[in-house]
A and B are shown apart, each in its own frame.
Chain A
């Protein structure tokens, strides 16, 4: 870990960005999976 205050601030900002992107990746994956599930259910419903 660096003692340079600017590098510390940079690492902090980078971690915050990574966390936000991670959240977006997780939620968008869940949304995609739900949409796929709805499509499958819709297809199954249409086939019956």
Chain B
């Protein structure tokens, strides 16, 4: 997991739950909290932090991960507007997601494993994303899509079928613009 994701989790907790809460989470996780955006960290460290935040604040982990995805999109836009402004609408952006993530990860870490977002455009207003990742962070992807829809000003529907949490080897996200 790229350090930028760890930094954004810190930012979300600090702004929404307070500096004290983030300090307490780090202490409970036995983490230093020193993350560099360009480095890669073990996925387990992020998942452990999410678990602790969820437990301490009585927020279901699934809701927390979705909210994190929503928070991530504008935070990414603030940092890398050129990667998003290059696209006229959300579906075009989502179609490019796989290559954007791939480049951002491998440019400094050749050979690093990146999650797969294989796009299948099914029409001007419809896109199917095949999400493949051992991390099974499909709720994060859903939150990111929700954040993207807000940014681009779209109403949309999403059908999540199949899901890796229910026995499939991948998740399918069918996104349709209203």
Residues of B within 8 A of A21 (CB): 4, 36-38
- Size band of the interface chain B makes with A: 10 to 19
Q: Which of A7, A18, A29 is in CB contact (< 8 Å) with B104?
A: A29
Asked whether A32 lies within 8 Å of B79 as measured between CB atoms, the reply is: no
Tell me if A40 counts as interface (CB < 8 A to partner B): no
Asked whether A28 lies within 8 Å of B79 as measured between CB atoms, the reply is: no
Given known A21-B38, A24-B38, A25-B37, contact A31–B107 (CB-CB < 8 A): yes
Near B by CB (< 8 A), chain A positions 1-16 give 7
Interface residues of B (CB under 8 A from A): 4, 19, 36-38, 79-80, 103-104, 106-108
A-B contact pairs, 26 of them (CB 8 A): A7-B19, A18-B37, A18-B79, A21-B4, A21-B36, A21-B37, A21-B38, A22-B79, A24-B37, A24-B38, A25-B37, A25-B38, A25-B79, A25-B80, A25-B104, A28-B38, A28-B107, A28-B108, A29-B103, A29-B104, A29-B107, A31-B107, A32-B103, A32-B106, A32-B107, A33-B103
